[in-house]
Amino acid sequence: MASDEQQFQLSTRTLHADRLAGVEHGGIHKPIHTSVQFGFERVEDLIGVFQGTLKGGFNYARQGTPTSAALERQITLLEQGVGTIAFSSGMAALTAIFWTLLRAGDHVVTSQFIFGNTNSFFGTLANFDVDVTKVDVTSAANVEAALRPNTRIVFAETIANPATQVPDFDAIGRLCRERGLLFVVDNTITSPQIFRPGTVGAGLVINSLTKTIGGHGAALGGSVTDTGQFDWDRFPNISPSYLSSPARERGLTQIRKKALRDMGAALAPEPAHRISLGLETLPLRVAHTSATADALARFLQRHPAVSQVMYPMLPEHPQYEIAKRHFSAGSWLLSFELRDAATTLPVLNRLRLPIKATGLGDNRTLVIPVAPTIFWEAGPEARAMMGIGDGLVRVSVGLENVDDLIADFDQALAAG
Ligand SMILES: *Cc1c(COP(=O)(O)O)cnc(C)c1O
């Protein structure tokens, strides 16, 4: 409404009053902007927002809001990328990449050590005539051997959940660059605080904001960041409508238009705000949880009731050298196997601090026996392929005091 507002009736002025005064009020947090619609003084700006020429303009909340845009800027900074799109969950972010960038007849090479729901999604892709080959990414030679002329994307996670395998990052990044392939990395477990996949040539980075970045476990969210490392001129599946935008913007433009606008998995302003608040303490939380996980891993490794501990910062870990070279810390994820698998459930039931729960990346320590729960649907064959034994226990280390946590594991194992 223009400044000559006095000519309008009170009801009209009341209806528009919220946007007559400055809306930010000097608040030092980005406010939760719940508006779904965005209006413009000049119709030229309305046209500009549709044609992408009005920078910073908002069209409709399904394609982003000022609150989600503020979070996107924070994540772009953390990943040192060129742009980010926020989604309603990590799975929405991950699936958006494959739905919007692939076509029937394309081929994907993925790590065989992946999040269960991602594994299930790759099964769905097969129904749309996209072939997916699963390989052991701890050696780049396996990735190279699986490549075909129609391969478009190579996908891996930084530290695999639950058995903590780490990809042969430098060699896979080099291979993808040489072949003009898009390397997509799920950075959820490590977060940009520990590792930036752009440094090894990943073109797109996924983060489940529900986990390390939010931390509190009180909001679902996900993101896709373009690192600026991939040359989109080499990608054949960009729709002609987006070829007019600069090459470095094409991937994200297509993902935002197709995935947010057409498929609608937008991050609502309220969870975007909660995730932004969590993100502010990311460096402190990652330092604490990684130090505690490291100490707990070393304690478990020495314990006679434990047969194996999986944690990338243990020198016995098969990818210890890669982890040490690339990660600033080991993260909050560790897994272990008891010598006597039959004692697994009683040991977990004796734990007093860790919560027996499905999720991970929370401020509270969570534990879960993996085979009978999250990887039950996958079946014994897939479990064996991912290195998941029947007695494997996953621990997502939280912010509890390290001595309290170790003492609790000690008493639970002692009665073993
Ligand atoms: C949890 C998780 C996801 C999915 O994120 P949501 O926010 O739960 O949808 C994807 N990848 C990894 C590695 C995860 O741990």
**Preceding amide of 162 cis, omega within 30:** yes
Distance 91 CA to ligand 1 centre (A): 6
Higher-pLDDT residue of 247 and 367 is 367
The CB of 115 under 6 Å from ligand 1? The reply is yes
The CB of 189 under 6 Å from ligand 1? The reply is yes
What domains can be seen in the chain, in order of their start residue?
A: 7-98+169-279 (3.40.640.10), 282-414 (3.90.1150.10)
Confidence at residue 111, expressed as pLDDT on a 0 to 100 scale = 98
Average pLDDT of the residues in 105-118: 95
Q: Which amino acid is at 291?
A: A
Alpha helices by DSSP H, 303-397 = 320-326, 344-350, 379-385
Atom 4 of ligand 1: nearest residue by CA position: 90
Q: Is the pLDDT of residue 1 over 50?
A: no
**Tens-digit pLDDT profile for residues 149-191:** 999 999 999 999 999 999 999 999 999 999 999 999 999 999 9
Confidence at residue 157, expressed as pLDDT on a 0 to 100 scale = 98
Q: Is the pLDDT of residue 92 over 70?
A: yes
**Tens-digit pLDDT profile for residues 350-364:** 999 999 999 899 999
Q: State the DSSP string of 172-238.
A: HHHHHHHHTPEEEEE-TTT-TTT--GGGGT-SEEEEEIIIIIT-SSS---EEEEE-S-S-GGG-TT-
Q: What is the pTM of this model?
A: 0.94
Residues above pLDDT 90, as percent of the chain: 82
The CB of 220 under 6 Å from ligand 1? The reply is yes
Ligand 1, closest atom to CA 361? 15
Distance 153 CA to ligand 1 centre (A): 19
Q: Which residues pair with 86 in a beta bridge?
A: 223
Residue (of 239, 271, 272, 281) closest to 256 by Cα position:
239
Confidence at residue 3, expressed as pLDDT on a 0 to 100 scale = 53
Q: Across the chain, what does the average pLDDT equal?
A: 93
Interior/surface letters 107-139, b for 16+ CB within 10 angstroms, e for the rest: bbbbbbbbbbebbebbeebeeeebebbbbbbbe
Ordered strands of the 182-186 beta sheet: 83-87, 222-226, 204-208, 182-186, 151-157, 107-111, 131-135
